[in-house]
Homo-oligomer: A and B are copies of this chain.
């Protein structure tokens, strides 16, 4: 079934992230703690700059170096996905269990990012991944076009 996501985000991601990083031998520092908390509250992706600004605004400021370093740790631990939506913009979002796996619609006009998921598509991607000269670790799908709002007042 194809559907846009309307459910609220699960909240246990923060715990899972902290645990897994602890197991990987990381200490718990303030910057990391706050960034994880912020990410856990997101349902879809934010850019590094947006994350840093949100931190400074809502909790306490964290240096750019820390933001990128922690995102990289999280990415390596497969807790965060890096999403490139075009125009050189890179966004990051928490990876949730099977249920939360999704792909993205991007409006070429206003830049809006809309998550969606589809089981048939996933099956097809798995099938293709088997037939390809690469050991596939992950996949990205982006559908680009014009969103409802933009088509209207065009």
Q: Which A positions have Cβ atoms within 8 angstroms of B?
A: 2, 4, 82, 84, 86, 88, 90, 105, 107-108, 114, 116, 118, 120-121, 124-125, 127-129, 131-148, 151
Contact = CB atoms under 8 A, between A and B. Distances in A.
A88 B82 CA distance: 10
Given A84-B84, A86-B84, A134-B107, A2 B128 contact: yes
Main secondary structure of the interface of A (DSSP, over half): strand
21 contacts: A2-B132, A84-B86, A105-B134, A108-B137, A120-B127, A120-B128, A125-B141, A129-B143, A134-B145, A134-B146, A134-B148, A135-B146, A136-B143, A136-B145, A137-B144, A138-B145, A139-B142, A139-B143, A140-B140, A140-B141, A141-B141
A70 to B, nearest CB: 17
A145 B135 CA distance: 5
A129 B116 CA distance: 11
Nearest to A3: B131
Given A140-B140, A140-B142, A151 B135 contact: yes
A79 B79 CA distance: 37
Contacts of A124: 120-121, 124
Contacts of A90: 88
